[in-house]
Every structure is written in C-alpha cells, then in structure tokens.
Structure 1
Amino acid sequence: MNIRHATLQDLPTIVAIYNSTIPGRMVTADLEPVTTENKLVWFDDHDPSRRPLWVVENDTHKVIAWMSFSDFSERAAYNITAEISIYIDPAARGNGLGSTLLQYAIGQAPSLGIQKLLGKIFAHNEPSIKLFAKFGFEEWGNLPDVCLLDGILRSVLILGRSTP
C-alpha cells in the first residue's frame, strides 16, 4: 500500500470512489453522481502543504481509496481546524484500511498546522462513528434532522479530537 498526494490524473478515480457511496445513503448527502468537471475547483482547493488530498494505491498501483483535509471555515482564525474525509473503493472496504488511513491522517495533521480534526458523519453511519471513536474522536456537535435522504430526515454528528 502506498499513500501519496493526488494528481489531476487521479481525479476520475477519486470521483468514481465517491460516487460509489451515493446509493447507500450513509456517507454523503449528494443524491446524484458528481462529475470530474464538478470536482475540479474542489481538487484545486487541496493544497498539499496545508489541506492535502491523498490517494491510496494497492500493490498493483491501483487507487483504492482517498482522504483529504478541508477547511472547517474560510475565516483565518479557524485554520487550526480541518475536516477529514475518507472514501474507500467498495472492493477494499472491510479490511482495516479505514483505520490505517485515519491513523495516518492524525499523524500528518501537526505538520500541517492542524490542531483540531473534525469529521461530519451521519448519525445512522455506525461503522464510521465506531471507527472515529476508536481513534479518540468524541461528539462535539449534533445537527438533528438537517438532511432529507429519500424522504427520511437524517441527523449529522460532528466528531472531533485534538491532534497529537
């Protein structure tokens, strides 16, 4: 396994992995697939020295996951805080990769000036909540019924932790 900074050539695979999560209604509030073109500005917003976007390659150099840090807010005083996102290809899920990636991200945060990490997770996404709790994330916020997925109101938890 190799973790490296994403390149523009990785964007179609990043988008495909992201889109694979939409039908499950557990990970994202997008209701329809996004396109590579839709994600170009988002991709460009990920500065490797501040808010990286990483991809994970397996032993055959196939991208099987990605993760990123994003701004919590555009206001400068919040620069010590970043939101973490992790998305894994369906074929690579369930093998501990989420733990490996979350541990890696936590370890990288201090060198990027990040003192606080946040995850925004649907309250019904128990696997992700358990994963983040395993690494010391605690509930810092609860946004009840802020999302409507297929006619069902869903809540979002904000899980946070300080970096090492």
Structure 2
Amino acid sequence: MKIRSAVESDLAAIVQIYNAAIPGRMSTADLEPVSVESRLAWYREHSPNSWPIWVMESEQNIVGWLSFQLFYGRAAYQHTAEVSLYVAPDRQRCGIGQKLLQSAILRSPELQLKNLIGLIFAHNQPSLRLFEKFGFQQWGYLPQVTELDGVERDIVILGLRCL
C-alpha cells in the first residue's frame, strides 16, 4: 500500500468511497450521494503542495483518501487545516485510516500547517478513537448542529498542534 497525491482520474474512486459513507450517517452531513461532476471544483481547489488530497492505493485500487482544507476560509487561518478522512467500507479497520492520519501529521510542517482540525460526529466513536490515538484533543463541541433522519446530532471539534 502506498500514499500518493490524488490525480483527477482518481475522483471517481474518491466519490465512490465518500458516497458509501453517506447511508451510515456516521461521517458526513451529506444526505444524498454526490456526483463526480459536483466534486470537480472541490478537487481543483486542492494541489499537492497546498491543501493536498492524498489517496491510499493497494493493488492499483484506491482504498481510502484524506484531504486538507483551509479551516474557516480566511487568510489568518492559513496554518490550520481541517482534515477529512474516508476509507472504503471493505477496508475499514485495516489500518488505512491510521496510515493516512499519521502521514498527515508527519507532513504537516512541510505544508506549513501548525494545527490540524477534525470535525467529527459525537456518535462516530471509531473516528473519535482514531484521532485521539494520534494525540488529537477536544477543542470544541457543537451540540445539536446537524439533523440526520430526524435525529439531532452533535459535532466534536478535535485539534492537534503539529509543531
């Protein structure tokens, strides 16, 4: 398995993995599948040297991905990135998320990032445990800010200082 920068031809696999997470209501606030076309602008906002998207490849198949994005969208937050991480359903609990997150932490300084942020549903215990395993701490809590199938859900903001 190897981690590499995503290329545009990976977008279909990235979207497929993302869409597989939607029905579980554990890791995304999207309620309906997204299309490759709808994610093109998102993909093009990223580059390998700033705000990258990385994919984990195994036997020429993408089995997970991680993206960095500017937290809160203003210049003063340029050294803080929100991290999104998704793993193919049949490859969860195989260490892929750990490898992607560990790589994000280790490579943050070269991306000039001082802080990593994860916005995670409070009921998503596997993701909370993963981030906490790598030293992320609770930096905030947003009660009942999302509604999934009529159930109000909380968001935990986890953060890590990467200096």
Normalising to structure 1: TM-score of the pair?
0.97
Aligned twin of 1:83: 82
> Could you tell me which residue of structure 2 aligns to residue 106 of structure 1?
105
Structure 1 residue ranges (4+ consecutive) displaced by more than 3 angstroms after TM superposition: none
Structure 2 unaligned regions, length at least 5: none
Percent identity (aligned):
50
Give the corresponding residue for 2:25.
Answer: 25
Q: Kindly report which structure 2 residues correspond to 1:141-160, keeping only aligned pairs within 5 A, or say none.
A: 141-160=140-159
Pairs within 5 Å for 1:14-163: 14-58=14-58, 60-163=59-162
Q: Deviation of residue 74 (structure 1)?
A: 2.0
3-state SS of paired residue (2:97): helix
Give the Cα separation in 1 of the matches to 2:84 and 2:54: 10
Letter in 2 for 1:159: L
The Cα shift of 1:73 comes to 2.1
Quick one: distance in 2 between partners of 1:100 and 1:54? Answer: 11
Report the 3-state secondary structure (helix = DSSP H, G, I; strand = E; otherwise coil) of the residue aligned with 1:131: helix
Deviations 1:73-95 (A, max 9, x none): 22111001000111000111111
**98-107 or 147-156: which moved more?**
98-107
Look up the equivalent residue of 1:4 and give its one-letter code: R
Give SS of 2:108's match. Answer: helix
Gaps in structure 1 of 5+ consecutive residues: none
CA RMSD, 1 decimal: 0.7
- The TM-score normalised by the length of structure 2 is 0.98
